[in-house]
Amino acid sequence: MSPRVLIADALSPAAVEIFRHRGVEADVKVGLTKAELLAVIGDYDGLAVRSATKADKEVIAAAKRLKVIGRAGIGVDNVDIPAATAAGMVVMNTPFGNSITTAEHAIAMMFALARQLPAADVSTQAGKWEKNRFMGVELYAKTLGLIGAGNIGSIVADRANGLKMKVIAYDPFLSPDRAVEIGVEKVELADLLARADVISLHTPLTDKTRNILSADALAATKKGVMIINCARGGLVDEVALRAGLEGGHIGGAAFDVFVEEPAKSNGLFGAPNFIATPHLGASTGEAQENVALQVAEQMSDYLLTGAVSNALNSPSITADEAPKLRPYVSLAEALGAFAGQMVDVGLKGVDIAFEGDVAALNVKPLTAAALAGVLRPMLAEINMVSAPAVARERGITVSESRQENSPVYENLMRITVQTEMGRRAYAGTVVAGAPRIVEVKGMELDAGFSANMLYVNNLDKPGFIGALGVLLGDAGVNIATFNLGRVTAGDDAIALVGVDQTPDDALISRIRALPHVKEVRALKF
């Protein structure tokens, strides 16, 4: 059955054709009411939106089949990411499709401010010819301060360098090497405020960046500074900015984004030398086409191959990586499920070690798959998208380690779970594309995974295997595979038995009553 995608906001016909050419059914239903969306969303595996459709908690709760939400654009304010994550849905955006367009808009705003173009246009078309009124400033040799030097900020820096401006940037995540590469001087915020002739914001809105240009920060800027915001409303204290414009300390401001949108009214409207545009940063034909095509490709890749691109709540997996990772994802899930079914008390931590060939791969998806396996016995509705978030919420520490060489196997994955009672480790490998378990509690064995398995920990004494076989036979449980491991003769031992029928509680109790048996569990995979 082909996956189905609901296109709830307008995408270009070329994007719709990408879905259909890739073998994904695409239904275009633009302008649905909330009630109409709730009524149909349960029939779809994917939801493609721009900014109009709201994928809130109610929509996500009704979307029982939904695997992926794709946002054609950068901002995902209209998607409840925590709810989607909890439901195991990948949320994707297209962060690069409109980067050039947004950067160009910021540059255009800078020119418009420097030469007072909007006011000069109104005056001239009114027949006033106020040539002496509109004295501008050159951008040449001026200092541009970027708050945020990611994808869009770096493009702005490139254009500003072409204008022979001096570019400085405040970005805690900007490495010194990257700063040199994009041609900026990395500075602290206080230094930027003191030096910049123009400040342009290119950072997401978070608790740390909200009002990053506060009243105090604005007061610390150079007199006559020009401020441009084409990023997100809420980065600048709008009330303080108005006061700065009226008082003359702020030379001008140009905003494409506002705290409340659509901005039918705003405290900045009408302020001296203030320019406003209605969130046009991504509004070019090229950008709209780019993001539509990208979201169609990304969603199709995920639904058809499992490849994950530009996900906001899941590790990325390229189309080339997906087939290489698939057997290891199966191993991680199975080994995690084994470990999770052995946990009876509070889970405190999970460590996943990768050895050999697997250590050279993208292990983030494998860690997520292993976590999902560990947590599934306790939380049935969980997958590799939601598992990392659930672990964080429950205070479960997760760690990874890699080792290029594996002493025995070409590849090895070891999951160690820490509970209130101590630590237990389980190791597995992939052989000929199939996952196998090769170590339990430090005891070596070699067993494939079956849908139903019986785990028995006992002392290695004569007669145990025969007695176990008799009990299984009497209960009508057929043995498919039988694998053993032990420390030494007479010491700790394990039996891992693949069975065709699920052992019931009564049979488990009879096995537990056998001499020398320490632990018995019925496992399902």
Residues belonging to the active site: 232, 261, 279
How many Å apart are CA 257 and CA 238, to the nearest integer?
Answer: 11
Taking residue 488's Cβ as centre, other Cβ atoms within 10 Å add up to 8
Hey, which residues does 94 pair with through a beta bridge?
none
Q: What is the DSSP letter of 442?
A: T
Taking residue 226's Cβ as centre, other Cβ atoms within 10 Å add up to 27
CA distances (Å), origin 378, targets 11, 201, 344, 387, 525: 41, 45, 10, 12, 14
Q: Which of 37, 74, 73 is nearest to 53 (CA)?
A: 37
Q: Which of 193, 200, 198, 172 is nearest to 257 (CA)?
A: 200
Strand ranges, E, within 365-515 = 397-403, 411-419, 422-431, 434-440, 443-448, 452-459, 479-486, 492-499
How many Å apart are CA 369 and CA 363, to the nearest integer?
Answer: 10
Phi, psi for 138 (deg, rounded to 5): -75, 145
Report which residue type is found at 82: P
CA distances (Å), origin 81, targets 44, 149, 314: 18, 24, 11
Q: What is the CA radius of gyration of the chain?
A: 30
* Cβ within 8 Å of residue 231, ≥6 positions away: 148, 152, 201, 202, 203, 204, 205, 257
Q: Strand 492-499's sheet: what is its strand order?
A: 479-486, 492-499, 452-459, 517-524
Q: Are 173 and 228 spatial neighbours (Cβ–Cβ below 8 Å)?
A: no
Q: Are 114 and 226 spatial neighbours (Cβ–Cβ below 8 Å)?
A: yes
Strand ranges, E, within 149-294 = 166-170, 185-186, 198-201, 225-229, 250-255, 274-276
User: Tokens for 409?
Assistant: 């196997």
Which DSSP string do the residues of 452-464 spell out, in sequence order? EEEEEEEE--TTH
The β-bridge relationship of strands 452-459 and 492-499 is antiparallel
